[in-house]
Every structure is written in C-alpha cells, then in structure tokens.
Structure 1
Amino acid sequence: MSNAPTLQSLLTEAMTQAPGLSRHVLNAIQDELDSRPKHFHLLDGWRRMRARFANDFETALLPLLQASARGEDPLQRKLDDINSLSLVDDRQALQDVAVAHVIHAVEEHARAELHQLGNVFAALRGTARALKNENPVRPALFAQALLVALSSVEMEPQARYELMQAASQPMASGMLRLYSALCAQLRAADLSQMVASHAARVDPDAELRLALARRSTQPATLDGLARRVHEHNTRPAPLGHATAATGVAAGAATPVFRAGHGPDLLSRLYDQILADPRLLPPLKALLARLQVAVVRLARSDANLLHKQDHPTWGLLNRVAAHGMAFERADDERLQSFLRFIEGEVQGLIDVAVPSAALFQQALSRVEAHLSSQAQQRSERSAQALGALERETLREPWRKLLHEQLAAQTTEAPLGPKLRRFMNTAWVEVIVQAMVLHGRESDQAMMRIEWVDQLLESLHDTPDERSRQRLRQRLPGLIEGLRSGCDAIALPEAQRESVLQELMLQHGRLLRGMSALPEAAKPIEASPRGPNSRELSPEELLQRLLIERESEMSTQWAHTRVNRGHLPTVPVQLYDQGDSPEARSAVGAWLDGLHIGGWYHLFVQSSWLTAQVAWISESGQFFLFVGQDPDQRHSLTRAALERLLTHGLITALDENSLVQRAVDTLMQDLDDAV
C-alpha cells in the first residue's frame, strides 16, 4: 500500500506533534500545581522556568527523535576512553527515580497504544518480537526531554524530583494524545494484521498461574510444596466422586501427583524448571543433562526435596541467573560460560552416587569462575575507579593523619623544623601513597612505618652498642625520607633544611648526648583527664588507618544496555521510610552485592543488565560492567540505596529459577482443589 506508514513517516508525525505536546504539558503542569496545595512550594521554581519550558522541551526532544530516525539509539552513551569514569551519586539516582516515575505513568496511561506501536515498529524493522527499548518513540525519550526542560533553573534535587512527579500525569495525558494520533494512522492503513503478528510470545496461562501463586505474603517453599503434595495425594475424594479420565475410584486421591510423590515431585519440579521461558535453548539443554545427576542424588539425599538452600538448587539458580543475563544464544561470552559449565556437569554425571558436597564444590568453582571473569573484564576500569574513590578520601585522610601524627609526636624529641615537616609534608607523603596505591598498600604502610623508625632513631643511646645500631639504621632512614619527599615533589630547599636538623640531632646521639638540648625538649602535655592514657604506637598506627565516611562525587556516567522488558522489582521493606526494619533490610541487600552477580537497574531513562565487577574497599563504590565490555556504570552506595527503595534495581537471581518453579507447582495444586 503506497500510503502505508513507514518508520520515517511515523517519526516525522511525532516531531510534528511535538509543539502541541509541549503546550499541552505546559498548561497541564500549571493546572496541576495550582490545584494541589502540596505543590505550592514548587510554584516559585516553576514560574522561573515556565516562559522557556516549551522551547526547552522541544529543543531537548527533537534531537532524540532525529537520532531514532537515523537508526541510532538516542539514549546510548559511548565512553571514548576505557579509563574515563565518573560516579552515579545520590543526586543523579534521584533524577533517575523521577524519570522512571514519568515513564511508568505514561505506560499505564497508554498501555494499549504502546503495545500497537511497539509491534508495528518491530515489524517495520524486521525484528522477531517487539522490544520496549527498540520503540523509537518510547516514553523514556520524552521523560528525558522533560527532565532537561525542568532543569533550566537551579533547584534543590528534592524539589526537582517533586516537580517531575507533579508533571508525570500531565505528561501521560499528552503522550496518550500523541500515541493515539500515531495509532490512528495505523488503523487508517489497516495494519491490524502486522500488529497481531508481532505480539509478545508469552504464555498467558503460565504468567497468570505464576502471578496468582505470588499473591500470598510469604513465598512458597520446597518443603511446603512437598507437604502439600503428600496431603493432596492422601486426601480422600468426596463420596461418589470418580475421575473418568484416569479411572480413579471414589475415595481415592486426585492424581495431580502420584502417590509415591518423591520421584514424581522431582520430575514435575525439574520439568517446570526446564519450561522456564527465560532460559535460552543451549542453557536449557545443559540443565536437562544435569537432571541425571540430580535424580541419582535424590535417591540418597532426603534433604533435596525439602531444603531450598540445598547446594543442588543453588547451582541451578546460579547457572541460570548468569545465563539469563544474555539475550542471544550465540553470544561468545555465553558460549564460553557454557563450555566451562559443561565440564562441571559432566563431572557430576560421571559419579555413580553423587553427594551434596560434590554439588557444593561445583557451585564454589562456578562462583570463583564468575568472579574471576568479572574482575578480568573490569581490571583497568576498576583501577581508575579505585583511584577516583581514594581521591575523594584525600581530605578526610589528610585531616585524620594530621591529628594522629601530631598526637604521636607530641612528646618526641623533634627539632622545630622536623616537627613541622612531620605534621605537614610527611602527612602529604602518606596520603599520596594511600591515594595512588590503596589505604593498606605496601607503599602506604612503608610511609607509616617510617614514622616509627624515625622516632625510634631519636631515643637516647647510652652505650656503644646502641650507637652502632643507630649508625646502621641511618642510611635507610635518610633514603626513606628522600624517597617520600620525591613522591610529593617537595622543593629541595625545604627537604635539605629538615635533613640538616635531623643530622644534627643524630650527631648528638652518636656522641652519647640526648637528641635535643635540655632547653629545647618539648614540654610535657598536661593530663587529659582522670581516666585518660597515652596510646601505644600500635594503637596509634591502627587509628591512622581508620577510614572516614566518603564524600560522594557529584559526577555521573551511563551507557545503555538493551532490555526487552521491565523486570518486576519487589520493594518489600525497602520503601518503609526510615524505620529500623527498612534500614536493616536495605543494608542487608546492599551488603549482599557480590562480584560476578548480574543485576537489572534503571539508569538514565533505561533499564539495563550489568554485572558487578568491582566493589571498593569501603563498600561505598560499585562498578557494573554491561553486556558490552565498554559499558561501565560506576555508582555510589547512596545511589544504589535510592534505586533500591524505589524498586529500580534487582538481582537477576533474586526471584530464582527454582523459586519460580515451586510457585507455579503450588498454584497447580491450588487449582486442583
């Protein structure tokens, strides 16, 4: 049909609709703010940006639509340098939460229209199925333009977040009008068959059963499923009841599972595991081969069908979670992982009588392999991010070291130049080593230990033996001082004056005198309190290494990983305000982040799939590496906490393969009652 819509014509129509959309959103936001007292505190900021809103919105939106028309991903960011890293902090995470709120409102308002448009765009591109991130007019583009338009004046992050929330419904109603206009073109061209042919290939019955199974407040357990099967198989049927299809007489159990429920339960459970639509075919085939070893184990291990934390199910969940991070079966990294797992599976199959310990050992090797692979992928980036993190700690470390060195040297026999050097330049020497190499690196520890060596060298030498030991130490001590000065490029004049004073003090000691003349000795510090005591050198060194809370960087970066659908993220306790239970739940979840684990998270208007590749020493910085090794996402702990409390991050294995199978089978039992 000559007048049938094309990808280009639909995008051109969307661009044509942009001015009308911007005016609608402008007026609707004003009405929303005027009509609700809770928004009155936002009016001042809104008035300052109102006159330029429409222009700013269109200026931000049109380049995104034009990029879509060129076949590019308008939200994708490329990193030119693999070592170019910045951080998504709490401020940026709050913006991402606001964008996600707008996207959700639009999707809820225009669900049917988005379904039609997604299928048509997939058909026009020749894609097998519709993917949200491949819709060139998806809500994320418009939400990003809205964020830009609402950022034209300076506002507190929380106020801008609330303004985005207030704008979400006006945006949703405007987007419904735009999407409806595009769908009208589809109906006029009679493209209903195209829409139907690219519907998402999802088993609605399976999805419904799984959704029903999750309505309970507590998830089903494997032990609970085993008990239900036993109760179901031993429950007498109503009087006079018989099952024609199976010939079961009145009073017999309804045969959803056979009476010998152990082997049958395992078979049904494994069948349900292999039926999971998220498993790619090669991964499904590998797990099918593993069933031989699982069946053998079940004959000797009664715990297998009663404990969900059994290492057998842990192995299946870990393998499936990693495999589900990939969208294509021919991905070389997936193929490499499958080759590794093939060896583990074959080893379990070859054992005539496998044990839980063997499965635990295989699981440990898989965890170690995934962790090693993740670290290799991120090695260069992790080094850069580690240095970036430590740079943010420079000032807290400097302050702490200054305090501790001052306390440690208060009563030490130091000349005035040497004392000033220790409390200023040598603090910088230690801090520089910590920033460049790590807080507990050999280089940093060497600079810290030099302090002890210096103070020990200034002790009195009452006999020739002690003076001989001092002579032997002096070359290394002086070399350590010069090396430290070189590390911070201390001017020659400053270091020489310190060296001269130090040599004079050591000269006195070698002549059997004290390091300082009696008149120059430091005045003893007054007592600090009735219960106070001087810290030992070991205690002082420990305090030198205490880490202050990190200052979160305000920079951020993101590259997009294509996702076909939004995952369902259970918020649970995480959004329950500032209660102790919520804080505990959030802390426990964040502490559970581990290298090698895959996660879904929402960053800069898109869901992405990424693997934890590095966690900082302080646990405050995290590096995620996407499916493309060049896609790196560095986030602070505060940013992850913000995403978690709004349901915008979830572990790929949080709703495990085995748990989904148990939930579905439990629902089957409920349906059979």
Structure 2
Amino acid sequence: MNNEFPPHAPLLERHIEACLADVPRWMAALSNDTRQVLQSPSTTRSLRSAGGVPMQAAEVALTRDQLLWVRRTAELLVQRWQNELAPRAARAAGAGRLSHSAFDSLALVDEAEAEENIELVKIVQAVELEHELVLRELAARSATLRGEGGVKRGSNLLRADLMVRAVWDASEALGLAPGARLALLRAAAAPLSRALGRAYADALERLNRWGVTPAAWRATALPGRRLPTPEPSGFDVTRPGALDMLRGRMQPQVPIGTPGAPDGLPDAMLTRVLGTSSSAAADPLANRLLERLPMLEAAARQVIERQVIELIARMVDAVLHDEQLRLPVRSAIAKLQVPLLRLALQEPKLFDDHHHPAWTFLNRIGSWTLGYDDDGDPRLCALMRSVDDLCARLEVAPTIDGETFVRALGDLEFIFEMDLSAECDAAQASIARLRRAERRTELKLGIRRAVQSRLHAAAPEFGLHQPAVQGAGLRLSDALKRFLTGPWVDVLTEVALRDGEDAPQVQALHGWIDELLQSLEVPRTPEERQRLLRRVPVLVQRLQQGLALTKLTPDERQAVLDELADRHMELLRPDARLATASAELLTPAEIVRRMREEDDDAALAASATPERAAQDSLLDFGTMHTVPAELLDGADAVAPRDWARHLALGTWCRLVPRGGWTVARLLWVSDSREYLLFSDADLGLTHALTRSAFERLVAEQLAAPLEERSLLERAVDSLLGQSG
C-alpha cells in the first residue's frame, strides 16, 4: 500500500498513521457484530425481507474474506485521504471541468444502485446523529491540523460520509451477488455506527493528548443547497392582483400633495435622470433607481406613479442582493432597471399577473443560472455573454411594452437552447451510450414477450388461464423455463442490438427455442424416438455455443445442460409416454404453485415496462429513522412520478446520485423518458439515472428541485422582510 501523502505538518501525518493503524481493530469489531446480525436477522427489521440465501452468502463471505475487506478498506481510505490533502490546483487539473474524459466516464445509476445510495445515506445520517458532538470536535481539531482558517464541512478526514463510503466500496472485494451485498449493507448499519464511534473517540482522545486545539467554526452552505433564501413572507405572488396590492402598500418618500413634473415622467426625462447616477459606470450592480428615488418620485405627477417607482426600485434592489444568483447574473439583470420602470409606468397589467412576460423573463434567467457555484465557470461565462447582450439591448430599446418582453423572452429561450445544446455536444459519448441502453431495454422487453408467447403456445399448461392440462405432449421444467426467459433472452438482446433484429444469428437463436421445444415433446412411436436421439447431439452443441454468450458461471451453464440431459433421458425411455402422462396429473397444490409462478412471471414482465411501480423495490421504508437535514425546511414531498415525468430540460436539482449531495441540472432525457442525464454544477461531470432510480430518490427526499421559490417570489419575500 502506498501511504505517501503530500507534505504536511508532521502532526497531521502522525494523526493519519494512527487512524490507519486503528482500521484493523474497528473493522474486526464491525465484521464480528455484522455476522451476529446475519445469524439473528429477526432482530433487524430491514433484514426480514432479505431472504435466507443472501444472508447466508454474506455471512460465509465475511468469515472467509474478512482480512481482505479490512485491507481494501485501508487502501481506499489512503487513496481518498491523499486526494483530500492534494493541492487544490492538482485536484482541479485532475477533474478537468467539462473535459470529454469526464463525460466519457459515465456510470448509469439504476434502481438497484439508487436503493444502495438510499441505504448509505441513511447510515451516514445515523452515524452523524449518534456521534454529532465528537464529530464536531474532530472537525475543529482536524482543521487546526490542516492549517485551515476555520472549520469547513470537509475538514474532518474521518467524517461519516467518507468513512461509510470507503467501507462499503471495499466490500466489493467480498465478491457478493447484489442481493447478498444489500443484505450485508443492512446488517452492517448499526455495527458500523458503533465501530466508527469507537474510532472517533480514540482519535479525539489522541488529539487532545497531543494538545491540538480546535479551530473556529464558520458558516458554510449546506451540501446540495445554495445559500439561505429569505424567509417566506406568506405573501402569495401568484394570486391575481397580488403585485398591485403590494404596490398599494408602498409609502413614497415624497410627501403627499407634492406637485410633479407637468408631463410626468416621459422616457427621455427618465433616461436623463438615471443617466446622472454617479455609480452607474463604476458599479455594475448599482441600484440607479434607489439612488435617484427622491428625484424620480418628485417628477411623478400621481401617487400611484410614485408607488410604482418605489416598488420597482425596492424589488430591483432585492434581486440585485439575491445571494442565490452569481455575480455575472446580477450584473446582467441590473441592466433591466430602466426597462422595468418604463414598462411599469405605462403598462398597469404588469402588476395584475405574475406570469407577465417581464416577470417570466426575470424568473427564467434566475432559474436557468441558479445552480452554478463559480462566477468563473466557463459554461456560465459563455451563457451570460449572450444574456448580457440581450439585457443591454432592452436597456436602450426605443420603446418598451409587453410585446418587447415577449420578443425578448423568445430570444432568451433560444439562448438557453443553444446553451443546453453546447453542453450536450460535449456529452455526446454519454448520450450515445444511454440511447443504446434504451434500445437494449426495448429489445429485451419485446424479445422476452416473444419467447414467453412461444412457451405458452407450445406448453399451454404454463398459460395464465390453464395452469395444467392433463395429457399434454410437452412439459417444460421450471429451470429450463427460467433459462429461456432470462439468460437466453439476454443473449438474443445483445446479438440483436449488435447485428439487428433480422440478422441470421438472431433468427438462429430464436429457431433454437423452437427446436428445443420440439425435442421436449413426448415421442409416440419408435421412429420419433430415433429422430429425437439423432437430434439431441446437434441441439446440445448449439446450446453450448449459446451458453458461451451468456453471463452464466461455468457451474450455472453445466446445470442447464444437466437439466436438459435429464429431460431427454426421460423422454428416450420406452415408457416415457406413460411416465409423462402420470407426471402431468397435477394435484391441487401443484396447480396453485403453477399459478403463483405465472403471477411471478407476470410481475417480472411488468417490471421491465415503463410503468414499473416505485414500490417494487427491496427497500424497507420503515428503517428510515431520519429525514435529510437539507430538506427539513422544504415543501411537501412531490409525487415522484409526476415530478420525474414533467421535469423540464435545464432544471436544476439537488440529489444524491452516488455518494453525497450534489447540484446538477437535467441535460438530456431519452425519448421514452426512461433515461436521464444530469450535468453536475461543481465538477463538470455527468450523472446518468434510470427513471425508476430517479423516482426512488425523489420518493426518499434524496432528489428535489433546487429552486423552491422563483426569483420574483424571493424578491417579494425579501422586500416584505425588510419592511416588516
């Protein structure tokens, strides 16, 4: 293992070495406690539906490969700590924002991995909740060791998300099947929290003994969330006339009865007054309306005009101080001060409808740019050059009315389309893979249905409406049926995807099914028995060729061959017809069993369709004891199917695609909406999810809209908060 870290303070290196030396001890406790849970699954609610075989497999693997798990955990911790301690410039160069290699490293998150992520998030939350105080102390002292000016979320090298993910990723070394690995994860939840608790206590005791003092805490943004928004005011902007009601609350600075200019505020005078602002050129975020508010109100003839000026100036000020918007975004919006005021003074409809094109224009800019975290992000800079030009044209437009903003809104949407298209171009390799995955899903569903139709036509006793037919000429064993509708369908799918559905090899693989079914018919004459005897070697040879294309293990392949050989041996016996007829006299219990098997097959087919229900997962909802802290102040949960189906391209979300919280926007959706590609805000990477995986995350409140209230609503909340 390479334990070389970048040069740091000797005490930090000593701390890391001590933490690594502790790994075998607390991992041994974790393994032993997890085995005990697997041996007594009834004591753990989330294991009750896991099944005996997966739990036994997990227990055997733990006993056999515990040292391998420990060693791999230590290796992953070293790798991740090295990355954490590497200079920031080196990490950034390694990540390569918007590099093609980043887009090409696509990993599809399906529902199984979504379940895994949900379980991991719950474990991390449980660890953080149970050991909150000691983790805070460790973070404060770790910040001192690392020479940081204050405690940050990532200061602690032993933080829960990093440790839990390392332990889980290391469990791949156990070689468990997905079901057994999920059983291991659920069984290890409580033992892992206890083991990490002991590791945390020992680490803190060492740092205290070494005299490491805690650094100061400082406020940071929560993971997956922008800076805090204004407190909701309760004012419903969407109510008809709400903004006009807000206008009526304004108290102009000019005393009532003060005469205004004879002609009011014509555009020329408005431009002249605002043009005298001393800060207009020096500060791109200067609120020229607020700076010249007394002069503007004095020139207005009526109280209602003064209220309009007051409201627009205050709302512009709230927008320009909206901390959820990046500096280039606010700078562009600052150019809309004069156009908005000109429009408000001559078009009262602006305050009648929150869907007015001018408000929509503002909201769309705010929503589209909300997720960017860096003023220098090249994607944001390229986008804002076009948006800034558009706002600058509005600033000097000779006439301003509703139609002006309708046209501007169309131009803005075109800019957004080009922005999305440019990023999709960079992600073409990922999109091509997702299109291929979508095609694979469609082919697999169609092929499975075709195979099932063949089986039901040849052996009607397996039909849903005829669980048994006495005296039928063919009986297909359950093992062969599972093979034909599972691994053989997978082979057909891959070959059809590669060569086309009408390719000769695809037709040959389909034809082999018919030959197999014919070979399983009971021979009625000696001649038929001889023909079967001649056909079997050729049939088996073709089966072996097909098995080589499957992902079955050698033992599983041999089991299929043995099953077919047993059936053929039975059919080749002289008394095969009598034996078959006798075997087909099913008891009532056998009939019920067959019907249940058909129900299982129907459920399997349904699971492959776009209408798959979110509740089909293995997750035990009762085990989720806490709600993610990032979502405690959010609105009621959105129905996952509704939100997933109607999520618009470009929408920013906070979600947990893999590991921890991140901010990403929807970049691309497949034609069937079964595959979604998100573009990460911070890393320039992509996250691909199946629809069912995304719905699972939404249902567990691990995916939600980043924007809880529109830019207009936030501005009103801020305005009322200041006045209240």
TM-score (norm 2): 0.55
2:678 match: 624
Q: 2:657 is matched with which residue: 598, 603, 625?
A: 603
CA contact 2:610–2:674 (8 Å) conserved in 1: yes
Aligned with 1:199 (options 213, 218, 224): 218
| C-alpha separation in 1, matches of 2:51 and 2:435 | 42
Given that 1:88 and 1:635 are in contact with CA atoms closer than 8 Å, whether structure 2 keeps it comes out as yes
Aligned to 2:4: none
CA distance in 2, matches of 1:123, 1:354: 58
In the alignment, does 2:381 pair up with 1:344? Answer: no
Distance 1:71 1:375, change over 3 A: closer
* Amino acid in structure 2 at the alignment position of 1:316: L
Structure 1 residues 161, 434: closer, same or farther in 2, change over 3 A? closer
Q: Cα distance, 1:104 vs. partner?
A: 1.9
Q: Read off the aligned partner of 1:143 and give its amino acid letter.
A: V
Give me the whole-angstrom Cα distance separating, in 1, the residues matched to 2:652 and 2:400.
33
What per-residue deviation string (whole Å, max 9, x for no partner) do you get for residues 369-410 of structure 1? 233223222223322321232133224445789999xxxxxx
Quick check: 1:297–1:354 contact (8 Å CA) kept in 2? Answer: yes
Q: Secondary structure, in 3 states, of the residue corresponding to 1:605?
A: coil
CA shift for structure 1 position 228: 6.5
Residue in structure 2 matching 1:657, options 689, 707, 711: 711
SS at match of 2:673: coil
CA distance change for structure 1 residues 208 and 435 in 2, over 3 Å: closer, same or farther?
A: closer
User: Structure 1 pair 595/187, CA: closer, same or farther in 2 (3 Å)?
Assistant: same
Question: Is the 2:667–2:678 Cα contact (8 Å) retained in structure 1?
Answer: yes
Give yes or no for the alignment of 1:38 onto 2:58.
Answer: no
Q: 1:326 aligns with which of 361, 368, 372?
A: 372
Contact 2:102 2:685 in 1 (8 A): no
The within-5 A match list for 1:153-302 is 157=179, 164=185, 167-184=188-205, 187=208, 192=213, 195-196=215-216, 199-200=218-219, 213=232, 227=245, 230=248, 261-302=307-348
Report the Cα offset of residue 313 of structure 1: 3.6
Which of 109, 127, 152 matches 2:130? 109
- Measure, in 1, the Cα distance between the counterparts of 2:188 and 2:420: 43
Query: Counterpart of 1:14?
Result: 19
Q: Tell me the CA shift for residue 335 of structure 1.
A: 1.6
- Structure 1 pair 153/400, CA: closer, same or farther in 2 (3 Å)? closer
Residues 126, 38 of structure 1: CA spacing in aligned structure 2 closer, same or farther, 3 A cutoff? Answer: closer
Alignment correspondent of 2:82: 70
By how many angstroms is 1:627 displaced? 4.8
Aligned partners of 2:164, 2:248: CA distance in 1, in Å?
A: 52
Q: Report the equivalent of 2:443.
A: 394
CA RMSD of aligned residues (A): 5.0
**Structure 2 Cα separation of the partners of residues 109 and 271 of structure 1:** 43
Q: Is residue 2:400 matched to residue 1:353?
A: yes
Match of 1:143 in 2: 164
SS class of match (2:689): strand
Assess, with a 3 A threshold, how the Cα gap between structure 1 residues 36 and 432 changes in structure 2: closer, same or farther. closer
Structure 2: distance between partners of 1:432 and 1:209? 49
Q: Distance in 2 between matches of 1:345 and 1:633?
A: 33
Q: 1 CA distance for matches of 2:392 and 2:77? A: 51
- Structure 1 CA distance, aligned partners of 2:78 and 2:386? 44
Amino acid of the structure 1 residue aligned with 2:413: S
CA distance in 1 between counterparts of 2:313 and 2:499 reads: 54
Return the alpha-carbon distance in structure 1 between the equivalents of residues 713 and 29 of structure 2: 46
Structure 1 unaligned blocks of 5 or more: 235-257, 405-430, 445-547, 553-564, 575-581
Letter in 1 for 2:642: A
Matched, 1:365 2:385: no
Query: Pick from 660, 669, 672: which aligns with 1:615?
Result: 669
Between 585-594 and 395-404, report the one with greater CA deviation.
395-404
Q: CA deviation at 1:586?
A: 2.2
The aligned counterpart of 1:91 is: 112
State the Cα distance separating 1:162 from its structure 2 match: 7.4
The one-letter code of the counterpart of 2:421 is S
CA distance 1:603–1:395, shift in 2 (3 Å): closer
Contact 2:372-2:380 within 8 A present in 1 as well: yes
1:230–1:261 contact (8 Å) kept in structure 2: yes
- Structure 2 counterparts to residues 460-499 of structure 1, below 5 A: none
Partner of 1:277: helix, strand, or coil? coil
Cα shift at 1:572 = 5.5
**Structure 2 residue matching 1:611: 3-state secondary structure:** strand
Q: 1:635 aligns to what?
A: 689
Aligned AA for 1:365? F
- Assess, with a 3 A threshold, how the Cα gap between structure 1 residues 72 and 593 changes in structure 2: closer, same or farther: same
- Any idea what SS the aligned residue of 1:623 has? strand
User: Sequence identity, in percent?
Assistant: 23
Q: C-alpha displacement at 1:97, in angstroms? A: 0.9
Distance 2:328 2:671 in 1: 37
CA distance in 2, matches of 1:631, 1:209: 25
1:516 match: none
Normalised TM-score (structure 1)? 0.59
